Structure 1
Amino acid sequence: MRRTTPEKSPQSVLIVCSNDKSTDFIRSTLNSSDYIPIETTANAGEAKRRLSEKDFDVVIINTPLKDEFGVDLAVDINEKYYCGTMLLVKNDIYEQIAYKTEDFGIFCVSKPITKEFFLRAVRLVSATRNRIKSIEIKTENLKEKMNEIRLVNRAKLLLIEKLSMTEKDAHRHIEKQAMDLCLKKSEIAKRIIITYES
């Protein structure tokens, strides 16, 4: 069976750059429907404030910044937020910075850089971000399912203890209530727990 490609949604981008000319280069390179909205800031402090107010899919940091070099900001972003982070550094210090940041999952790119290579790098960061987001969603769904199983098992145990039901009858009772009331099994389980544990 062939998988269908999911509909692509635009990626939100935050550009952190102290140089207006470089900001214009980055913005014009990303100027397509794939990257909306594109916001800019000139320093790390402002970038941190924006990130605390709004989620971004990709953050591009053009080093050096006015208030810090940019590595600390990139590390901070990767530790606190779920976004792809790209760090643009001069070619002569690229190896040193890439070595420092690669374990944090920061995508380091040397400059000067062509538009074509820059766009490929942003797409790679974006694709990595999308993969991480997909894993996050699966993890959350799994946590939710595990929580439901715990609640249902606790409720079944209460039905067995308090109403002398068999495990099979308790399970059937919870499923029937969920279907009859159009609720999740976890909601029925919560009601049973509240009723018999209070």
Structure 2
Amino acid sequence: MNSSIVIALPKIDDAKKIRTILNRHGFPVAAVCSTASTALASMSELDSGILICGYKLPDRYYRDVLDDLPPCFEMLLLASGRVIAEAPTSVLTVEMPMKASDLVNTVDMMLSQIERRLRREKKKPKARSWKEQNYISNAKLLLMERNHLSEEDAHRYIQKCSMDSGTNMAETAQMVLMLLYDEV
């Protein structure tokens, strides 16, 4: 999943200059626009990334845009020191007038953080469905009743069988249920 950059500034020429700076340093820019609505529309088509924007766009202030920012996007605000002092902590900032190196370093840091967070989220195991959880619960109950195991021991048994067979716990629980019910 590649993170994207969207630039929204009131003066389109300023946005294009920033795109040129970022492109020169190897950062591809997905969209350059002059309104918040265009920026939000562009971001809705992207997976993740950064919105670089000014304090006030023709149709909205940056705080209003922040409320509608897609979940995997972060905002980089380009503004005066006075505006930056009042910005929420969730918004990273670069003070205007800015140095190109400050912009490039901040964008690089933000993209790295986004990529790290996405990798961490990708590694998280997906939640079990109600059906899978039901198989596991029923198998544990059956093992507890028939083999006089505690709930923890029954869970550990299913977990160990799962690891030994290379199947997930729900499949293993299904097999345990089928085997135990076939004995009846």
TM-score (norm 2): 0.71
Deviation at 1:113, TM superposition (A): 1.0
Q: 1:117 to 1:20 in 2, by over 3 A?
A: same
- Map residues 2-151 of structure 1 onto 2, 5 A cutoff: 11-31=3-23, 34-77=26-69, 80-89=70-79, 91=80, 94-102=81-89, 105-137=90-122, 140-141=124-125, 144=127
Contact 2:56-2:62 within 8 A present in 1 as well: yes
Deviation at 1:60, TM superposition (A): 0.9
Does structure 1 residue 165 correspond to structure 2 residue 125? Answer: no
* Higher-helix-fraction structure: 1
Deviation at 1:28, TM superposition (A): 0.9
Detail structure 1 runs of 4+ shifted over 6 Å in the superposition: 191-196
Q: 1:192 to 1:124 in 2, by over 3 A?
A: same
Q: 1:22 to 1:169 in 2, by over 3 A?
A: closer
- Between structure 1 and structure 2, the one with the greater Rg is 2
Inter-partner Cα distance in structure 1 for 2:75 and 2:19: 16
Contact 1:85-1:125 within 8 A present in 2 as well: no
Contact 2:4-2:46 within 8 A present in 1 as well: no
TM-score (norm 1): 0.67
The share of aligned pairs that are identical, in percent, is 18
Query: Which of 142, 148, 154 lines up with 2:137 in the alignment?
Result: 154
DSSP 3-state at the match of 2:147: coil
Deviation at 1:88, TM superposition (A): 0.8
- Paired position in structure 2 for 1:5: none
| Aligned-residue RMSD, C-alpha | 3.7
Deviation at 1:34, TM superposition (A): 4.3
Deviation at 1:161, TM superposition (A): 5.3
Q: 1:75 to 1:124 in 2, by over 3 A?
A: farther
Deviation at 1:53, TM superposition (A): 2.9
Inter-partner Cα distance in structure 2 for 1:98 and 1:58: 21
Partner amino acid, structure 1, of 2:71: Y
- Paired position in structure 2 for 1:184: 168
Inter-partner Cα distance in structure 1 for 2:120 and 2:157: 33
Structure 2 alignment gaps of length 5 or more: none
DSSP 3-state at the match of 1:124: helix
Deviation at 1:114, TM superposition (A): 1.7
Structure 1 alignment gaps of length 5 or more: 1-8
